Every structure is written in structure tokens, then in C-alpha cells.
Chain A
Amino acid sequence: EAGVTQSPTHLIKTRGQQATLRCSPISGHTSVYWYQQALGLGLQFLLWYDEGEERNRGNFPPRFSGRQFPNYSSELNVNALELEDSALYLCASDIWGETQYFGPGTRLLVL
């Protein structure tokens, strides 16, 4: 069974641009979580999607947004990129609040 997949693996953008990151959950999982791991800051919760709806978000500005599609895959959009958005973005999936399974991450570099 395929694990959580994310694309792209690496992304380079310049300040002010927009970035789109994608995540496909494990088959059968309905929840997708997005996390940011910035250098020196540890992992932080960004967004939680379940059954197509945004259920909760962490302490991040509105330029971080996303959506979940009918097939439960998800997209994270970061608008008006800032240098400090450079980080590893991890997606995880679960069902019914059980063990979260993590994807390999997307490394975003903002120049």
C-alpha cells in the first residue's frame, strides 16, 4: 500500500511569489494535516482538513491556505512568500484520529 506522497520534493521561489504544495494521503484516510518545520523552530501545526473541509488551523497568517479535494488529496498554498517561509512542509494523514502517517515533505526555499 502506498504511503503519503508529496510533490514537489523541492521548490525554489522568490519573495512575493506564490507556492503550491500537494499531498496525497494513504488510501482510506480522510484527514490531512499540514505542518511546517522551519530551521530552529521545530515542527508546527499549520492546517487540518477532514472530509473536504478545513477543521482547524494553527497560528499562521491567512496567506497560508489550502483545500482538500473529493479524493482527499490536499493542496497547500502560500501567497506573498516571505524569506521566513523557507522550511520543510510535511503532510500527514489519518482516519478517525488514529496514528498519523507522514509524507517525505516538500523543501521550500524562498530567495
Chain B
Amino acid sequence: KNEVEQSPQNLTAQEGEFITINCSYSVGISALHWLQQHPGGGIVSLFMLSSGKKKHGRLIATINIQEKHSSLHITASHPRDSAVYICAVTDMYSGGGADGLTFGKGTHLIIQP
């Protein structure tokens, strides 16, 4: 079973700062997901990636398969970016079966004006 570790657990930054959240996992995956959860509980999928880098607006996600590591970057951070960011992985398929996502514990991000 995959172990997913995120760092930092909590992060408070000033508006405009460049933010990096890290995620590492223990065994091979078919995909890694970055999710955003707002205080009301709703979850939004930000990225799903299996190699390289993806960019959407001010968000950038990278993954290094060999090192089993991914990073989520936020450029020009804004108070509305305040949320919990969760890394999750889909384990390698075997025999046609697959688990749902395995989640990290999340990073609580607060961006102060």
C-alpha cells in the first residue's frame, strides 16, 4: 500500500509570495493528483499527472517519477488561494483491479493580505 507524505503540514504566507507544497510517495503509481479543499468541504481536482509538468493559471504541478516526488507551486499567491491542498495517488494497476485514491494528510495554506 502506498504511503503518501506531504510537507509542510501548515503554511502561512503573505500575499504575492511563491508557494511550494511537496508530496512524496513510496511505491509506483499510475497517476498523482493534486486536490484543493475549501473550508466547506468541497474538493476540486487541480491536476492529474503521471509525468513532467502541468500549468493552469498561477498553479504549476511537477512530478519526478524516479524520485517518487511531486511539487505544487502557486505563483503570486492570493488570499483566495487559502485552502487545504491534498496530494493523492492512484496505485499501479495489477490484475485489472485498482484502488481508489490514497491521500496525503494535506497542507493547510493561509495567505494573508
Chain B associates with chain A: yes
A residues near B, CB below 8 A? 33-35, 37, 42-48, 55-56, 58, 88, 90, 92, 97-102, 104-105, 107
Interface of B is mostly: strand
CA distance A88 to B30 in the complex (A): 27
Q: Are A102 and B103 in contact (CB under 8 A)?
A: no
Q: Are A58 and B98 in contact (CB under 8 A)?
A: no
Residue in B40, B90, B103 whose beta carbon sits within 8 Å of that of A42 in the complex: B103
Q: Are B101 and A33 in contact (CB under 8 A)?
A: yes
Chain B residues within an 8 Å CB radius of A102: 35, 42-45
Report the contact-size class of chain B (Cβ under 8 Å from the partner): 20 to 34
CA distance A92 to B44 in the complex (A): 10
Distance in angstroms from A49 CB to nearest chain B CB is 10
A-B contact count (CB 8 A): 61
Q: 15 additional contacts, CB 8 Å, given A46-B100, A99-B33, A104-B41?
A: A35-B100, A42-B103, A42-B106, A45-B99, A45-B100, A45-B102, A55-B98, A90-B41, A90-B43, A98-B48, A99-B48, A100-B45, A101-B45, A102-B43, A104-B42
- What are some 18 contacts across the A-B interface (CB < 8 A)? A33-B101, A37-B41, A43-B101, A45-B99, A45-B101, A46-B100, A48-B98, A55-B97, A55-B98, A58-B99, A58-B100, A88-B41, A92-B100, A97-B90, A97-B98, A98-B48, A100-B101, A102-B43
Distance in angstroms from B50 CB to nearest chain A CB is 11
Name the 7 nearest CB pairs between A and B, nearest first: A45-B100, A102-B43, A43-B103, A99-B48, A33-B100, A42-B105, A105-B41
Q: Are B42 and A48 in contact (CB under 8 A)?
A: no
Q: Are B41 and A99 in contact (CB under 8 A)?
A: no
